[in-house]
Amino acid sequence: MNNSSSIINLSSPIGPIRGSVTLPSSKSIANRYLILQALSGGKLTVMNLSVSDDTQILKKLLESPPADNIYDAHHAGTTSRFLLAYLAMQPGTQVVTGSERLITRPIKPLAEALISMGADVTYLKEEGHLPIQLGPVPSSLASEVWITGDISSQFITALLLNAHSLPNGLTINIEGELVSKPYVEMTLSILKDVGIESTMTDDKITIGHQPIVEKVLTVESDWSAASYFLGLVTTRPGSEIFMPNLYETSIQGDSHMVDYLYHYGCRYAFENGGLKVWNPADADYTLPPILEMNLEDTPDIFQTLATMHSILGLTCVYTGLSTLPGKETNRIDAMKNELIKVRSIIAELPPRFSSKSQQKYYLQESKATISEVPTFSTYQDHRMAMSLALLSLVGPINIEDPMVVSKSFPHYWDELAKLGFKIT
């Protein structure tokens, strides 16, 4: 599609949606591989690298350091966090910065953890935010650090990726609840795959000083990207989609979305090197009256699920969304704002519902209806654009800033077009 389009009109095909989808490779895995490759001294080769903006920015910055030593991560939160820890442990003086939105996102827990280890970290503007200057690495860094676990698992991963390179290794003490635990487990699995052993308890991870082994690494397809096509199948009876390079043994937390498919009467099978999912048109199945979902381990699929449930008219209670306000946008508020345009409501439940768990609960109800073509904002958030696209199954829609999807899935609209969607 034309990359200069500031708004698109999207309409779905009539009847079942069938076909094969080429997914991008996982940027979560790719970004971890890139940091380890930079630390490996040429021992690691990475294949099937993600074409997402986030990964390509990180690759460029690592392979061709900027002449002015200013590392601009643009909108990429993962890239900025991984770079901050990596550069803090490298020679020389560098600055990590980003877009206007990125510098508002939290980074203080990671920065303060690096300071406590003895790294030279200076806030250039607002305390706790980018841009941050990193001075020369000190002669020694502490081998033990404390960091909060209830804001972003990426802070912990940023430290884990560098731990093996420190002379005395690193023990990370996790304070509070660890959110998005599967992403930390993904990191430890990747480290093990390149020869780095670790030990993990409920509140502590220890990695000793160890060399990376020589290896060729191939990045698997992105399960977060797959979620949108799982959403298409669940909401259009008779549909069937095949997605290559998705595996049952995936280390990606979002692979657990297939565990939810039975709620919607759908089936799946891992075959021919990928995933086939289908929605039997003749199945004798009734949707449940209400669903309860804790998405603490899979927050990136909240937008997909919320859009699906809007289309299906399925009432759902969500919890485990604590990391979403600090993403590219406040994803809870953004979904509230956009789904109300099709008369679907998301509301935070009163505190009495969470008096014991201390969690926040959100109720979604009402079936999406379209009378006039709605125009959806995307908030500079790739996942807003891709999830809201599913609402074209209800009726024609407009989506602003469609190329925001380049952050993780540049050819998303092309894949929809291959399935019969009309994009103008």
Report residue 314 CA to chain centroid gap. 25
The DSSP element (H or E) to which 122 belongs, if any, is strand 121-123
Catalytic-residue membership of 202: no
Residues 178-197 as b or e (16 or more Cβ within 10 Å = b): bbbbbbbebbbebbeebebe
Fill in the DSSP letter of residue 260: G
Report residue 170 CA to chain centroid gap. 26
- CA-to-CA dists, residue 117 to 79, 96, 129, 144, angstroms: 21, 19, 18, 7
Token pair listed for 351: 């505190």
CB atoms inside a 10 Å sphere around CB 355: 8
Residue of 72, 254, 300, 381 with catalytic role: 300
Contact 279, 234 (CB under 8 A): yes
d(CA 122, CA 56): 27
Report residue 269 CA to chain centroid gap. 24
Contact 58, 31 (CB under 8 A): yes
Q: Residues with Cβ < 8 Å from 312, sequence gap 6 or more?
A: 234, 235, 264, 287, 367
d(CA 191, CA 41): 15
The three-state secondary structure class of 148 is strand
d(CA 162, CA 158): 7
Token pair listed for 237: 């009876």
- CA-to-CA dists, residue 344 to 115, 280, 370, angstroms: 46, 26, 11
Q: Which residues pair with 240 in a beta bridge?
A: 18, 278
Sign of the alpha-carbon torsion through 324, 329, 334, 338? negative
The catalytic residue positions are 300
